Structure 1
């Protein structure tokens, strides 16, 4: 394992991080092999200290301006800057990162958080960013689109389920059901990793002989799935399971000596994933929180100017994570200076 920071390859173009382009795989593979030889980078299987980098939803949908749910943060360019710093972090620490695991938000049109799932009395879909509470469903302000039932693989009493789902969210103090713009559509450009980060992951795979692992989340039509570790609702009104906790992934992540987390958005999918991980840690061994490192400068909160700003809420949540033993770190700080990694 190479412990000292490595140089950043000349092909990495910081100004192109916010753009779409094809990764030249064969060229990068050749360069990665030569890079490993030049810098004494060994196969990840030989690592004595195993580090996992968990990338949460670093996808075009969230990370590129002009896409459906670009996470601009208060600066307006948050996710672009985050991806630049993240790419540089991967290259500098290529010899120390054992495995990269990337989550992919994965959706189709007819899901509970998309407009097509709901209609009002006039048959109109709710506009994006509509919040649907239990009372809205009880009063008939919004009801399930009858056409949706024919497209579900598992038959359900959808009107009953809609009441159960929104009530469950309200009762548990979760975010109310948010109707999001169609995003991260399976088969679409928005679903893919940001090219600059995809390239860094591929380069890491070849240089360290360590396959990038991908975790798909969010394809269940009956529940939101901010966290890759657990959906928002797991049972229907009769107590029958509609989804389940991703226990295998939790066990895999906590088996590493260190877990580094970055991605989008800090206020939503990142926060929910870390919260679920922390909940499991506290139920088993609270000391495990000390092996988790949150890349503070490689994630941004959702901010819709003039509408909603989750910055303060995200900061408060991260403070709670730190209080529980997790480490808030900067991508520019050498890993040797991180607590517990000296």
Structure 2
């Protein structure tokens, strides 16, 4: 039976919830020595290829005090999740072939940020405001016309788009348009990967000669993009595209024998990524749904005490995923106990 690798000496679980600089040169030397000590082979030689799709493991969602910290019901959800995720990577360094981190990537003037909207008094909506079809129809919230020139958009066009957008969401199973606090701001510290997770990825890269495949998402001003596969709404009211399916990622993942999914938040970016994987696989290769494994102890739902709790919605989604053939597993269980076909 395979023995999991030990955690390397540099890993400190107490620092997972902190922001710090990864000492790359030092870690690279240690990773090369670690690979030699434990007989690690280049990932390109793997006969059973395992992908780890890590959704939005970024400071903005995962560090207490940051803009959209995902605390879950425990209050420390993302920190606890990332301790387990980092330890899972180190313990299975020898068999994880490639890591696919996704990164929510935003600027101030986007459809889910306060600056995008104004009311009749010129005020912006508060974070966590949900904007409905009726709100747009009644003019309670409208596009901030001052943004038109810098975005190169006609305010009348955007207002028509907002009506189409909210109607499209209402007619689907997706969440209503939500105004979030400014988060994952491109170039800011909140956008960065969690340091402990980044360090684990870098260590894996050097030890296994495996370049991570980072996926940028969420940078179009006219649509939300919870999923790493496609935006919430892909066309404007005129039928013109405002986003596209990430076909490259779908095609890359299809080349692996197993796809492991972790990250934040379980109720939003993870759930909608998995939902899109489900829909695309059902259309093209339903028999391959069984190679998707959801690391349920490495993700937490959005919970804002006294405001909103998405725990039950997230759990219901994962029941559907399991019924479709995906596996709900725990990172702390030996991988050979749940990974079909590996041994």
Distance 2:162 2:51 in 1: 38
Q: CA RMSD in A?
A: 1.2
1:204-250 Cα distance to aligned partner (Å, 9 max, x none)? 00000001110000000000000010100111111111111111111
Aligned to 1:213: 213
Distance 1:254 1:322 in 2: 19
Q: Relative to structure 2, which stretch is displaced further, 219-228 or 301-310?
A: 301-310
- Once the two structures are TM-superposed, the CA of residue 312 in structure 1 deviates from its matched residue by 1.2
Aligned to 1:263: 263
- Once the two structures are TM-superposed, the CA of residue 68 in structure 1 deviates from its matched residue by 0.4
1:289-332 Cα distance to aligned partner (Å, 9 max, x none)? 11001001000001111111111111111111111110111111
Distance 2:166 2:259 in 1: 34
Distance 2:173 2:30 in 1: 50
The count of aligned residue pairs is 341
Aligned to 1:63: 62
Aligned to 1:53: 52
Distance 1:153 1:334 in 2: 53
- Once the two structures are TM-superposed, the CA of residue 172 in structure 1 deviates from its matched residue by 1.6
Distance 1:154 1:222 in 2: 10
Work out whether residues 52 and 253 of structure 1, in 8 Å CA contact, stay in contact via their aligned partners in 2: yes
Aligned to 1:297: 297
Gaps of 5+ in 2: none
Distance 2:247 2:2 in 1: 31
Aligned to 2:145: 146
Aligned to 1:17: 16
1:17-58 Cα distance to aligned partner (Å, 9 max, x none)? 000111000000000000000000000010001100010000
1:84-141 Cα distance to aligned partner (Å, 9 max, x none)? 0000000000000000010000000000000000000000000100000011011010
Aligned to 1:233: 233
Describe how 1:31-50 pairs up with structure 2 within 5 A.
31-50=30-49
Gaps of 5+ in 1: none
Distance 2:322 2:261 in 1: 13
- Once the two structures are TM-superposed, the CA of residue 287 in structure 1 deviates from its matched residue by 1.1
Describe how 1:88-127 pairs up with structure 2 within 5 A.
88-127=87-126
Moved over 4 A (4+): 153-156
Question: What's the secondary structure of 1:191's corresponding residue?
Answer: coil
Aligned to 2:288: 288
- Once the two structures are TM-superposed, the CA of residue 4 in structure 1 deviates from its matched residue by 3.1
Question: What's the secondary structure of 1:259's corresponding residue?
Answer: strand
Distance 2:27 2:213 in 1: 19
Distance 1:120 1:234 in 2: 26
Distance 2:89 2:294 in 1: 14
- Once the two structures are TM-superposed, the CA of residue 155 in structure 1 deviates from its matched residue by 5.5
Distance 1:70 1:134 in 2: 28
Describe how 1:303-322 pairs up with structure 2 within 5 A.
303-322=303-322
